[in-house]
Amino acid sequence: MIPDGYKPFISDDHFKKESYKKIEKIYAKKEASLLASISAAFDEIPITDGMTLSFHHHYRNGDLLLNMVVEEIKKRNLKHMKLAPSSIFPVHKPLVELIKNKQVTSIFTNYISGDVADSISKGHLKDLLIMDTHGGRARAIETGDLSIDVAFIAASAADQKGNANGIDGPNPCGPLGYIYPDLYYAKHKIVVTDTFIDKLSSNDIDSAFVDYIIKVSQIGLSTGIESGTTQMTKDPVQLKIAKDTVKLIKALNLIKNGMSFQTGAGSTSIAVSHFLKEEMIAQKVQGSFASGGITKSLVNMFEHHLFQELHDVQSFDLDAVMSYKNNKHHHLMDASKYANPFYKNNIASQLDIVVLGATEVDLDFNVNVTTSSTHKLMGGSGGHSDTAYESKLTIITTNLVKSRIPFIKEHIETVSTPGTSVDVVVTERGIAINPLRTDILDHLKDSSLNILPIKTLYQKAVSLTSIPKQIEHKDRIVGLIRYRDGSIIDVIYEVKS
Amino acid sequence: MRLKTAATAGTYESNDCMVTVKKMEGITIEIDSVVKEQFGEQIHKVALETLSSLNISNIYLYIKDKGALDYTIIARIKTAIKRLGV
Amino acid sequence: MRKSLLFIPANHPGMLQNVDIFEADSVIFDLEDGVALTEKDAAKDLLVSFFQHFHLKDVEKIIRIHEIHDLDIIMSHHIDTICLPKADVSSLKLLDKKLSALEKKHKLDHQINIIALIETPESILNALEIAKQPRVNGLLLGAEDLATYLGVKRTLSGIEIEFARNMVIYAAKAVGIDAIDTPFTDTTDLSGLTKDIEHAKALGMNAKACIHPNQIETVNHLFKPSKEDILYAQKILLAKQQADAQGLGAFSVDGKMVDKPIIDRAIHIINASKE
C-alpha cells in the first residue's frame, strides 16, 4: 500500500529511538537586494522547471502571494513545479489550472480545502500529495527531507535590510510561526511585502537570512484570516458537547493553577474556551499558558489573567493579531518549537490539555481529520497529531451523529492521528475513554458523567442511522499522510466520481 | 373538491426530507440525498416498504433528503400519500 | 415532582431525535403553537413514527395537543401525559372521557395524566376547580397568551403576572400537584432566566417550562433542593425518628415546633434530591 521509498508508520513514540540530523542553516550571502517584482525574482534566481517553492499560510483565505507566484509560473510556462505552501485555502483556486496542465506536479502541505482539494481528490495532480503535520513539516525541512529552493515570505511590513514581520502595515496577519524552517533552510529567501517601514515593531523575520525583498501593491487581506466561525455556537448539541468537555476536565481535577491549554478555532472550540473560562474564574485559577493558533477567545481569557502567557504559532482572527502586537506576554512560537517531535521540550509537550475535532473516529480511537467520510480530501492534520501525542490529556469533541452520518465507525477511511495518542472522545450521547488510560477510567469511576465504552457509542450511532455503506474509491493513491516523524501513517485514494 | 395530481410533505431542513408524490402507473422512486453514497440503498428500501405498508402500487415518489433518519422518511411518505388522497 | 419541561415543536425531526440528550425531566411534544396549521397532519404522522422507533426512558413524554381529535391518531403506550391548552373545566372533562376510551381501546397499562395549561383570565380565577379535575397532576401557567388577554406587556419583573402565578401556585398546592411556571422567552439571557426562576420559586413554583435546551441546566439546578435544604430536611427527619422512638408526639428542631406540614416538606425534599 505504501509506495517505495517511504517508511511505514510504526508507533506514535517510535521517533524517540531515532537520531535527528539537521542540515546547515543557510544565511544570505549578502545584504538583501530589492527586486522590482515577482517576475524579476524568477529571472534573478533563476526559478526553473522542477524547483520547489514554499509559502506560509498566515493570511489564510486572504492570501494573495501564492496566486501571484502561480500566475508567474503559468506565464513562463514552467513545468513540473513543486509547491510547499503550509496550507491551501479556497482562495488558491487558480492553482487548479496548473495542476491540471501539469505545470505543478507535486504539493507538500499540512491542510487543504476548497477547489484544490477537490482537484487532487479527483486525481489531477501528477505526483503524490504529501500531507505533513505542522511539527512534521518543520522536521522535513530541517532534515532536508523537504528541500526548498525558494521560500516566498509574505510580510505585512519590512525594512530596507530585509527584516520583516506580520504585524506592522495596513494588512497585518500576526506571528509568522510556520515560515521559520523555510527562512532558515531554504536555498533562496524572498520577503514580499506591501509596506516599507524604517523601524519595525519587531524583527520577527531576521534579515540575516533574507536574499531578496519585493514590494507589491497588496500582500494579503487581513479580513481573510477569519474563517467564518468566530462566534460561539448556538447549536444546543454543540453546546452540550462543549459543556461536558469542561465538566470532564473539572472531574479530572485539571482546573488548577499553572494549567496549560490548547484548542482549535471552530465554533465548538470557542464554546469549550467559554465554559472553561467560567470555571477558571469561579475557581479563581490562573493557568500558565494557552497555545496554538490563537483566537479572540483565548486572548480574552489571557486578558482576564486566566493565562500568564500565550504561545502563538498563527492568528486565527484580528483580535489575536492585535494582542500579539501589543502584549509582551503574547509570544511568537515557531513551528519547530511548537510541535517538532525532535525539538526537545517543544511547547506542545508542556500542554496539560488539548481539545481537538474529528471527521471520524474508529473503535481504536484512531482519528481522521484529513478526508471526509466519502474519501474526499478536505482538511489535514495541521497540529492535530502533534498536540494529540504531546499533550498529557487529549480530548476529541465530535457529534456522534449529524445529518445521518455516524462519526464513530468500526473502520475509518483514513487515519490522521493514531488512537494511542487519543485519550477521550466526547459526544452528545456519551463520553468514551481510551482503555489504555486506566488512570482516567479509575479517576472517573464514580463520576456522574455519561461514560460509555466506545463500542456502545458506536452501536448507539448505528441504531439511529443504520450502518452506512462502505464507499468505494479508486485504486490509485493520490496522496500520503506523513506522520510527524516522517513515516507514512496512511494514504489518500482517488475518489470515484 | 379538486382532485390533486401531486402532493408534498416535509421540509428541506437538515435531518428532514421533502417528499413529492404524483399519480403514475407502476412504482417509480427517485432519491436525491446528501448521504446518497452511504444510505441511498437504505432510503430506497424504506421507501418501498412504506409504500407497500400503505398498499400503494402505483406512484411516482421523489425524495429530496437532507440526512433524515428512517422514521422521518416513513412519516413524510405517509403524510404525502394522505395529502394526495390515493 | 417535575423541575424542567422542554417544549419541542413536533414537526421538527432534528429536535425530536435529540430530546434524550438534554436531561429535561419532561418533554412536551408540541402540536399546537409550535406547528403551522397547514402542517398539523405532518406533525402527527411524524410523532407517531417517532414513538414507534424511539423508546425514550427516564423522561416524561407529554403531548400538547391542538385538538382532542389529535389523540385518535397519536395515542400510543409511550405517552405519559397530555398538556391541554386553554384548559377549562369543560374541556378537561371531555379530555378525561376521551382518554378513558383510548386507554381501553389501546389496552394501556398506565393512566394518562393531564397538565392543564392555564392561559386565560377566567381559567386563572378557576384554577382551583381546574386543579381538582381528574388526571390533572400539574398546572402550567401560559403567561404570553394571558398577557394578550389582559392587554398588558410582558416584563422582566413579571409584575403583570404576579397574581396569575399566585393563583396557579395556590391551586396546585391546595391539591398537591405541580405548579409549573411559564417559559422565559429570551433564550440568550441566562442571568434573566435565573432571576425569573428565583422569583417564581420564592412564590412557590416547583418547575418551569423551557423553550430552548440551553435553559434546562439552569432550571434543573435552581429547582433542585439546595444543600442547606437537604441538610435541614435530614435534620428534621432524624429528629422525627428520635421523637417517634421516645413516643413523643410533638418535637422541636432549632427551637421551632415541627408539625406535619414541615415533616411532609422534608420528605419531599429528600425525594427530590434523590432524582
Task: Tell whether A165 and A275 lie within a shared domain.
Answer: no
Share of chain A above pLDDT 70, in %: 99
Residue A460 contacts C, CB cutoff 8 Å: no
How far does A424 lie from chain C, in Å, by closest CA? 19
> Is there a domain that residue A411 lies in?
yes
Chain B positions in Cβ-Cβ contact with residue C45 (cut-off 8 Å)? 9, 75-76, 78-79, 82
| Residues A264, A25: Cα–Cα separation, whole Å | 31
CATH number at A181 reads: 3.40.1080.10
Residue with cell 506591501: A194
Chain C residues contacting B, CB < 8 Å? 11-14, 17, 41-42, 45-46, 48-50, 52-54
- The single residue listed with the C-alpha cell 495532480 is A125
Mean pLDDT of chain A: 96
| Domain co-membership, A412 together with A267 | yes
How many A-B residue pairs are in contact by the CB < 8 A criterion?
Answer: 37
Same domain? A200 vs A325:
no
Q: Are C43 and C10 in contact (CB under 8 A)?
A: yes
User: Of A217, A73, A219, A70, which is closest to residue A153 (Cα–Cα)?
Assistant: A219
Question: How high is the pLDDT of residue C257?
Answer: 84
Residue C216 confidence (pLDDT):
96
Q: Any idea what DSSP says for residue A8?
A: B
What confidence tens digit (pLDDT) does each residue in C27-50 have? 999 999 999 999 999 999 999 999
- Residues A270 and A407 placed together within one structural domain of the fold: yes
Instruction: Give the Cα separation of A209 and A25 in Å (integer).
Output: 9
* C179 contacts C207 by C-beta, under 8 angstroms: yes
Q: Do A471 and B38 touch (CB under 8 A)?
A: yes
pLDDT at residue C260 is higher than 80: no
Q: Alpha helix locations (H) across A252-405?
A: 267-282, 296-303, 318-326, 335-339, 384-390
Q: What is the pLDDT of residue C256?
A: 82
Contact flag A466-B66 (C-beta cutoff 8 Å): no
As a whole number of angstroms, the distance between CA B10 and CA B75 comes to 9
The minimum CA-CA distance between C149 and chain A, rounded to whole Å, is 33
- Interface list for chain A against chain B, based on CB atoms closer than 8 Å: 373-374, 402-405, 464-466, 468-469, 471
pLDDT-derived band at A50 (thresholds 50, 70, 90) equals very high
Q: What CATH number is given to the structural domain containing B33?
A: 3.30.230.10
Question: Which residues of B fall within a CB distance of 8 Å from C78?
Answer: none
DSSP classification of residue C213:
G
Q: Mean pLDDT, chain B, as a whole number? A: 95
Is the domain of A97 the same as that of A179?
A: yes
A7 domain residue, yes or no: no
Rounded CA separation C247/C250 (Å): 9
Q: How far is CA A110 from CA A225, A385, C170, in A?
A: 17, 11, 65
Task: Tell me, yes or no, whether A218 and A248 share the same domain.
Answer: no
Kindly report the nearest CA distance between residue C235 and chain B, in angstroms: 51
Summarize pLDDT for A294-314 with one digit per residue, the tens.
Answer: 999 999 999 999 999 999 999
Burial B23-54 (b: 16+ CB within 10 A, else e): eeeeeeeebebbbebbbeebbbebbeebbeee
Amino acid letter, residue C194: T
- Report the candidate in A283, A338, A282, A276 with the shortest Cα–Cα distance to residue A302: A276
Could you tell me the pLDDT band of residue C255, with boundaries at 50, 70 and 90? Answer: confident
C159 secondary structure, DSSP code: G
Give A353's strand partners. Answer: A261, A393
* Chain C contact partners (≥3 CB pairs within 8 A): A, B
What are all long-range contacts of A452-460, with beta carbons under 8 Å and residues at least 24 apart? A454/A361, A454/A363, A454/A365, A454/A408, A454/A425, A455/A363, A456/A430, A457/A400, A457/A408, A457/A425, A457/A427, A457/A429, A457/A430, A457/A432, A458/A363, A458/A406, A458/A408, A458/A409, A458/A410, A460/A400, A460/A429, A460/A430
Domain C-terminal end among A194, A225, A256: A225
| Residue in A236, A428, A464 nearest the CB of C212 | A236
B13 in contact with C, Cβ within 8 Å: yes
Is A2 within a domain? no
**Segment A404-422 mean pLDDT:** 95
On the question of pLDDT at B3 being above 70, the answer is no
In this predicted structure, the answer to whether residue C261 has a pLDDT above a threshold of 90 is no
Residues of B near A (Cβ–Cβ under 8 Å) read 14-15, 34-35, 37-42, 66-70
Residue B1 has pLDDT above 70, yes or no: no
Q: How many structural domains comprise chain A?
A: 2
Fill in the amino acid letter for C19: V
Question: How many Å from the N-terminal Cα to the C-terminal Cα in chain A?
Answer: 22
How many angstroms away from the CA of B44 is the closest CA of chain C?
A: 18
pLDDT digits (tens, 9 = 90+) for A54-91: 999 999 999 999 999 999 999 999 999 999 999 999 99
A149 falls within a domain: yes
Cell of C228: 442547606
C18 contact residues in A (CB cutoff 8 A) = 236-237, 428
Instruction: For residue C132, give the C-alpha cell.
Output: 381538582
The CATH superfamily holding the domain C4-223 is Phosphoenolpyruvate-binding domains (3.20.20.60)
- Locate C225 and state its grid cell: 433542593
Pair A212, A311 in one domain: no
Which positions in chain A touch B37 (Cβ < 8 Å)?
374, 469, 471
- Write out chain B residues lying below 8 Å of C49, CB-based: 71-72, 74-75, 78
Instruction: Give domain status of residue A3, yes or no.
Output: no
Chain A interface includes C217 (CB < 8 A): yes
CA-CA distances (angstroms) from residue A319 to A278, A313, A449, C209? 20, 15, 35, 39
Q: Where in chain C is the domain with CATH 3.20.20.60?
A: 4-223
Do A26 and A161 sit in the same domain of this protein?
yes
Average pLDDT over residues B12-38: 97
Query: Which residues does chain C have within 8 Å of residue B74's beta carbon, measured at their own beta carbons?
Result: 49
For residue C204, name the pLDDT band (cuts at 50, 70, 90): very high
CB-based contact A290:A260 (threshold 8 Å): yes
Are C21 and A240 within 8 A, CB to CB?
yes
Contact C65/C30 with Cβ under 8 angstroms?
A: no
Q: Test A466 with B70 for CB contact under 8 angstroms.
A: yes
Whether residue A407 is found in the same domain as residue A270: yes
Please check whether residue B1 lies inside any domain of the structure: no
Q: Above 60 in pLDDT, residue B2? A: no
Identify whether the C-beta of residue C174 lies closer than 8 Å to the C-beta of residue C128. yes
* Partner-chain residue, chosen from B14, B41, B69, that has the shortest CB–CB distance to A465: B69
Reported residue count of chain A is: 497
Is A495 a member of any domain? no
Contact C17, B69 (CB under 8 A): yes
- CA atoms of A168 and A260, how far apart (whole Å): 29
C-beta separation of C72 from C105 below 8 A? no
Separation of alpha carbons A129 and A107, rounded Å: 5
CB A280 within 8 A of CB A250: no
Phi–psi pair at B46, nearest 5 degrees = -60, -40
Across the range A362-370, mean pLDDT stands at: 98
Q: What is the mean pLDDT of residues A121-127?
A: 97
Number of domains into which chain B is organized: 1
Given a cut of 80, whether residue C170 has pLDDT beyond it is yes
* Residues of chain A positioned with their CB less than 8 A from the CB of C17: 464
In a domain, A289, yes or no: yes
Is the pLDDT confidence value at A458 over 70? yes
Q: Is residue A488 part of a domain?
A: no
Contact assignment for A236 to C17 by CB distance below 8 Å? no
How confident is the model over A229-277, as pLDDT tens digits?
667 888 999 999 999 999 999 999 999 999 999 998 888 999 999 999 9
By C-alpha distance, the chain A residue nearest B16 is: A403
Domain that holds residue A143: 14-225
Burial of A300 (C-beta count, 10 Å sphere; 0-12/13-18/19+): middle
Q: Per-residue pLDDT averaged across A346-352, rounded? A: 98
What mean pLDDT is predicted for residues C91-110?
Answer: 96
Does residue A219 contact residue A164 with C-beta atoms inside 8 Å?
Answer: no
Residue ranges of alpha helices (H) inside A169-266 are 180-185, 236-251
Together in a domain, A187 and A119: yes
Contact B71 C45 (CB under 8 A): no
Residues of chain B contacting A238 with CB distance shorter than 8 Å: none
pLDDT over 90, % of chain B: 93
Residue range C229-254: mean pLDDT, rounded: 88
pLDDT score at C267: 85
Mean pLDDT of C182-187: 96
Residue A390 pLDDT exceeds 80? yes
**pLDDT at residue A298, as a whole number:** 95
- CA–CA dist B65, B78 (Å, integer): 15
- Tell me, yes or no, whether A298 and A345 share the same domain: yes
Q: Which residues contact A178 (CB under 8 A, 6 or more apart)?
A: A56, A57, A58, A86, A134, A137, A313, A314, A334, A335
Crossing angle of helices B36-53 and B70-84, in 10° steps, is 50
Q: Do B34 and A374 touch (CB under 8 A)?
A: no
Q: Would you list the DSSP string of A180-192?
A: HHHHHHSSEEEEE
Residue C225 to residue C230: CA distance in whole angstroms:
6
Query: What part of B 22-61 touches C (C-beta under 8 Å)?
Result: none
Chain A nearest-CA distance from B37, in A, is 7
Q: Are A216 and A260 contained in the same domain? A: no
Q: Kindly give, in sequence order, each residue whose CB lies less than 8 Å from that of residue C86, ignoring residues fewer than 6 positions away.
A: C117, C119, C120, C123, C145
Nearest to A466 among B14, B34, B39 (CB): B39
Nearest to C62 by CA among C38, C85, C89, C93: C85
Q: Which residues of chain C are within 8 Å of residue A236 when distances are taken between CB atoms?
A: 18, 22, 212-214
* Optimal mutation site among B12, B20, B72, interface C, most CBs of chain C within 10 A: B72
What was the ipTM of the complex prediction?
A: 0.96
Terminal CA-CA length for chain C: 9
Nearest chain A residue to C23 by CA distance is A240
The residues facing C28 across adjacent strands are C7, C62
Q: Which residues from C are below 8 Å from A237, CB to CB?
A: 18, 21
> Which subunits have 3 or more CB–CB pairs within 8 Å of chain A?
B, C
